[in-house]
Chains A and B, each alone.
Chain A
Amino acid sequence: MSSRKQPKGKIRPPKKPNSADAQFNDNWDRLAQAIREIHKKNASILSFEELYRNAYNMVLHKNGDKLYNGVREVITQHLEEVAVSQVVPAFPLSGASSSQTNPNGAGGANFLKVLKTVWEDHTTCMLMIRDILMYMDRVYAKTANVPLVYDLGLDLFRDTIVRSQNYPIQNHLLEVLLQQIKLERENEIIDRTNVKASIDMLLELTDASTKDTVYATDFENKFLETSSEYYRVEGQMLVGEYDAPEYMKKVDKRLNEEEQRVRHYLSQTTEPKIRNIVEEELISKHLKTVIEMENSGLIPMLRNEKMDDLGRMYKLFGRVVKGHDEMKSAISDYIRELGKAINETVTSNTTAEGGNAASGDKQTGATVAVRWVQEVLDLKDKFDKVQNLALSNDKAFQTSFNEAFEYFINKNSKSPEFISLFIDDNLKKGLKGKTEEEVDSVLDKTITLFRFIGEKDVFERYYKQHLAKRLLLGRSVSDDAERGMIGKLKVECGYQFTTKLEGMFNDMRISSDTMTDFKEYLDKSVLEKPKLDLSVTVLTSTFWPMNLSASPRCNLPPELTKACGTFQNFYLGRHSGRRLTWQSNMGTADIRGSFKARKHELNVSTYQMVILLMFNDKQDGESLSYEQIKGESDIPEADLKRNLQSLACAKYKILVKEPKGKEINPGDQFNFNNDFTAPLQRIKIQTVASKVESEGERKETREKVEEARKHQTEAAIVRIMKDRKTMEHNLLIAEVVKQLQSRFMPNPALIKKRIEALIEREYLERATGDRRVYNYLA
């Protein structure tokens, strides 16, 4: 003992070993004392070489275990002392659980500060102890399979301080940490350094049984539990107090804060766990509530185009499993709802104007169609914008939106006709005032709507009809635009549809050449020249949508009949074997009318011309009855009524009807209106232009479509069977559906009927053994 009191720095000879025990005791006493000095921060009086050599000698002389246990005891004693003299006095006064009485958490912060010092002292001392016990670590600890001395120090600190059996240090520590975090969540400024020091300490300590960190075993679960509870309460509170955009901002902020917190003073392993909790409590649990918030939820955001809020919702809700699904279905429902509304305005309009339509207000139908398409396009634009600006062009959303559009567009059975009418409108007069690029972009958008149509074949039929009218009535403004549109359709429908359209263009071009030749022919001819200019368009019947096989009934004036005969001779002389049928229902005529005030040039339909010419033979004031006109002209009744309406009930009243009224009825009397006046010299009597079809026409179109579908279905069946030779019924049906669904959705009953028809016509037969199997007959 006396030797310790001698001044250091002087070399003393090692004591002669009296006995092993005495040597051990002496060595150990010095070491124990030295460790105490280290704990007292008095290391400067110690000699590393001596202490090291002491420990070395003890291990060398097989006293490693005594040394190891002695060290354990000294450190434990020291830590017990630290617990009593430093840690326990720093317990927060009010008890950590009642943060109310200690609102700033100052006691808690101080407690953490003390712990930080205690921990730092401990680690510093342990490093020095490790230095002098290096030989023990290397030789004894390895062979005895005990922790290295530094790790022993950590374990002792864990058991004596952090998990002290004698003092409630652990409780205080955990509660203070949780309290500090809670304070920070409530916008108090806390001293993160102290919190971080304690967390780092817990991270460095290892739990003996789980081999996990004490942070993980003691702290993390409690932290997650309290966080769960905290955000459960907060979620309920926020949902009640804030509107959707504010709520989402708060959640965003919370997520950010928790991420920052983890980065600043918790373990990275906690990050996904706390994130899940916030996402679960603040997003998952309130998904529907927030989406459905009145005046601020998803639908109001869409209505008011709040792209930022929508974008935030997309990002935020994307964090949880159901988030995007809920959004998607809410938006899709909304699209369907808006689509339904658009469809309803159309049906209410058409029913309200049903009477008018019949009375000759033909534009209304087309206007309804154009408005419907425009509204659908606007809706599409709106959601494209949402998709682009708020939803990162998410494919899943796009698909779901498309389904919604497809759904409501096909709910309107007239959509194929409407879309065709819309294109018609744009190719007819839409070009005026619009640049080609603008028209092109409108048509491009229209094509996107076209893709949604289930019954593409119906669209094709209408498109053909509308194109035919544009061509025959010379309404098509630009050939380039027409061809551009056909190009787009070719991409969508394939060439078999567009070849017919191109055939229509060809007919128009050839007809114009033919007319030039006809004029030359007349000039050179010795025949008497017709008294009128005849212009003929020759249509190849298979290209055009109308039924051209027979001439409609109509008694043409003799001059016209004669002129037609001249042309027919000329034409058939050049193309033998062809047959011409005159389509008087489709022609127009320019005639001159002498009225009391002045002369007018009238552009009328062929039928109207026939009607008007009858009045040439009448005296002023002499009238013709409906029956007389009908009998003399032989014009089909529906056409006659419509044309009489155009002449007597529309804008320009060339005829006066008795009794007055919008409808043409049997027994009506017609007079030539000699008093007719109009500001313009040239007058166009509104001819039957593009319009929504009447019910009868619609039925007719429908029948034609059904007929075409029969052929297409049979063609598909034959194509498939030719390839497969033999096939089971259900597989055949599936394959036929697959081939046809790009044009229309065939129903199995229709296919079955066609199969039976083909069996009847001996293209197919049922297999002998199995009646569900068909064979192809070459």
Chain B
Amino acid sequence: HFLLSRDYNKLLDSSAYSDVIIQVGQEPDYQEFKVHSLVLRARSPYFNAALSSEWIRKQENMIIFNKPNMSPEVFEIILKYVYGGCLRLQGHDVPAILSVLTAADELCLIDIFDV
């Protein structure tokens, strides 16, 4: 379980084979994440709908997805949870942690509350 989680996080870090660019936050607090639709769709009903053929928009063969109402810091924690299955909140302050939980609620990541 641990190894699987580690390898998925590696995949997220390397962004190899990624097919989605998620544009998170607003300038100046803005960041792009290169991710894998397969992983996201498998792990989250929200992304499963968002990345389905009915809704996606593509640029240069990459799916572009906007998420303006979240900070990159929060979104990265979410992504790591989505990929690795563990929620790592050490080193984050309380407002950030609250934002993570709010974001998880918005994205229907209900399992996160069990972690």
Contact = CB atoms under 8 A, between A and B. Distances in A.
A49 B67 contact: yes
Given A131-B49, A138-B108, A11 B68 contact: yes
A14 B55 contact: no
Interface in B53-72: 54-55, 57, 65-69
Contact of A56 (B65, B66, B106): B106
Contacts of B108: 134-135, 138
Nearest to B102: A60
Q: Which of B55, B57, B66, B110 has most chain A Cβ within 10 Å?
A: B55
B50 interface: yes
A463 interface: no
B55 A43 contact: yes
Nearest to A47: B66
Interface residues of A, number: 19
Contacts of B26: 11, 13
Contact of B57 (A9, A13, A127, A134): A9
Contacts, number: 43
Interface string B79-115: 0000000000000000000000000001010100000
A499 B65 CA distance: 104
B70 to A, nearest CB: 10
A128 interface: yes
A132 B110 CA distance: 17
A722 interface: no
Interface string B28-65: 00000000000000000110011010110100000001
Contacts of B65: 49
A128 B66 contact: no
Contact of A131 (B55, B57, B66, B67): B55
A131 B69 contact: no
A131 B54 contact: yes
A630 interface: no
Nearest to A11: B68
Nearest to B56: A48
Contacts of A215: none
A49 B50 contact: yes
Interface SS, A side: helix
B31 to A, nearest CB: 14
A122 interface: no
A53 interface: yes
A134 B45 contact: yes
Contacts of B68: 11, 13-14
A49 B55 CA distance: 9
A131 B69 CA distance: 19
Interface string A8-39: 01010110000000000000000000000000
Contact of B46 (A13, A43, A128, A134): A134
Nearest to A51: B55
Contacts of A13: 26, 68
Contacts of A49: 50, 65-67
A52 interface: yes
A48 B69 contact: no
Nearest to B30: A11
B55 A48 contact: yes
Contacts of B49: 48, 52, 131-132, 134
Nearest to B64: A9
A624 B55 CA distance: 133
Contacts of B55: 43, 46, 48, 128, 131
Q: Which of B52, B54, B57 has most chain A Cβ within 10 Å?
A: B54
B46 to A, nearest CB: 7
Nearest to A137: B108
Nearest to B67: A49
Given A14-B68, A49-B66, A131-B54, 8 more contacts: A9-B57, A47-B66, A48-B49, A49-B50, A52-B49, A128-B54, A134-B49, A138-B108
Question: Would you list the 8 A-B pairs with minimal beta carbon distance, nearest first?
Answer: A131-B49, A48-B55, A48-B50, A11-B68, A49-B66, A56-B106, A128-B54, A11-B66
23 contacts: A9-B57, A11-B26, A11-B68, A13-B68, A14-B68, A47-B66, A49-B50, A49-B66, A52-B49, A52-B50, A53-B69, A53-B106, A56-B106, A127-B54, A128-B55, A131-B49, A131-B50, A131-B52, A131-B55, A134-B45, A134-B46, A135-B106, A138-B108
